[in-house]
Amino acid sequence: MGTETEERKFVRLPTFLERGFLDLRNAVIAQRICCLCGTCAAFCYKIDILEGEGGKIEPKFIEEYDTVCGQCYAYCPRTFLPQSEIERRIFGDEGKGAERDILGVYRSFYAVRSKKEDILKRAQDGGAVTSLLAYALDEGLIDCAVITTSDAEWKPLTKVARTYEELKEGAGTKYTLYPGVIGVRDAIKGGCEAIGFVGLPCQIQGLRKVQTAEQPYDVGITKVKLLIGLFCMDNFTEALLDFVVKQCAGGSLEGVSKFEIRDKDLLVYEKDKEEKHRIPLDEVKSYVGAGCLVCMDYTAELADISIGSVGSEEGWSTVFARTEIGEEVVRGALEKGYIEVMKIERAGLESIRRLAKKKKESGMQRST
């Protein structure tokens, strides 16, 4: 019997046993609420993310015999999400001095811009993600970061970055669903002992479930030390890329330098061209991932640090430090000259709250 504090460390999830991949398939994949985060495949070698019927990419069982160990079902962010239990575990007493509102628990928030020119050149917004990871790596708080890069045609890829130069390859937003959590498996296999991860709210939820589950298995999750979550209203299937190719990219996305969602448009920037293509979001709504429609988390509420663009001026990132380690990283990066910070104005904060509320309401409506 542990002390009260020890007991609070783990979330008592419904049973691990007697729930196998078939249950996951029935409850999540067949219901079309899989968000393709990759958590199930990251921690079970019997699952892979493969092309299924009609070219749809989804988790597949690749062994003959299902041991019904229950991991995939317990880790999936779409089976059940004991949010307050997980918050209690991650924020614990620190949560007491922090704010708690529709944006989740947070200790501080800032508008952030990188002070590294080479990062700013490639970054989506203020380069906060890449700069904070660079600080954490240089200080030895992490020994690698799992990031999402892409191929020349903008298809996402996962990478275990171990150097500053490798970190920069992740800069920029890829608006395509991708099971990035599998990069954590690669990092563990590759011998990393202190892993940083950047990903979407659903991916952070999956990793937090693995971290906080009272479980009989050692899956190496204690090696994950820092979670940076991105704001996310929607993500899209690869069909979006095909649509953009047809619409404005002349047969290939190789010439595209950046995608950006601003207000009601998807902006497509081309290398060395001032002008950008503007595609109304209404025209690409049908490519939003089915599993995104039930999501209620806009700001990655369970991350150590959450980062987005809304709320700050163009060229800056909005950063919420939620945990002690999160705040330590932001403060340290500021002190050591990796980033500069500005106050977020009230109107900025209100616009984030408005979007967070919108996502909660639409997610709730669609899940009932």
Ligand X SMILES: Cc1cc2nc3c(=O)[nH]c(=O)nc-3n(C[C@H](O)[C@H](O)[C@H](O)COP(=O)(O)OP(=O)(O)OC[C@H]3O[C@@H](n4cnc5c(N)ncnc54)[C@H](O)[C@@H]3O)c2cc1C
Q: Which is nearer to ligand X, 47 or 228 (by Cβ)? A: 228
- Residues binding ligand X: number (CB under 6 A): 33
What is the C-alpha to C-alpha distance for residues 223 and 225, in angstroms, rounded to an integer?
A: 6
User: From the CB of 337, what's the least distance to ligand X, in Å?
Assistant: 17
Contact between 173 and ligand X by CB under 6 A: the answer reads yes
324-335 vs 128-138: helix axis angle to the nearest 10?
90
Is residue 175 within the footprint of ligand X (CB under 6 A)? yes
Please state the separation of Cα 90 from the chain's center in Å. Answer: 17
Count Cα atoms within 13 angstroms, Cβ side, for 293. Answer: 15
Choice between 237 and 309, CB closer to ligand X:
309
Exactly one of 199, 201, 206, 326 binds ligand X (CB under 6 A); which one?
Answer: 199
Q: By rule CB under 6 A, what string of x and - marks binding of each residue 100-139 to ligand X?
A: -----------------------xxxxxxxx---------
Q: Distance between terminal CA atoms of the chain?
A: 39
Q: Which stretch binds ligand X (CB under 6 A): 14-22, 53-61, 165-173, 342-350?
A: 165-173
Whole-angstrom distance, CA of residue 168 vs CA of residue 334: 19
Name which position in 75, 154, 178, 197 contacts ligand X (CB under 6 A). Answer: 178
Nearer Cβ to ligand X, position 72 or 133? 133
Alpha-carbon gap, residue 230 to 300, rounded angstroms: 6
Give the range of 34-42, 48-56, 232-240, 327-335 binding ligand X by CB under 6 A: 232-240
Q: Which residues contact 242 (CB under 8 A, 6 or more apart)?
A: none
Neighbours of 302 (CB within 10 A): 30
Beta carbon nearer to ligand X, 11 or 355: 355
Do 86 and 209 meet the contact criterion of CB atoms below 8 Å apart? yes
Residues that bind ligand X (CB under 6 A): 123-130, 147-148, 156, 170-176, 178, 180, 198-200, 230-233, 235, 307-310, 317
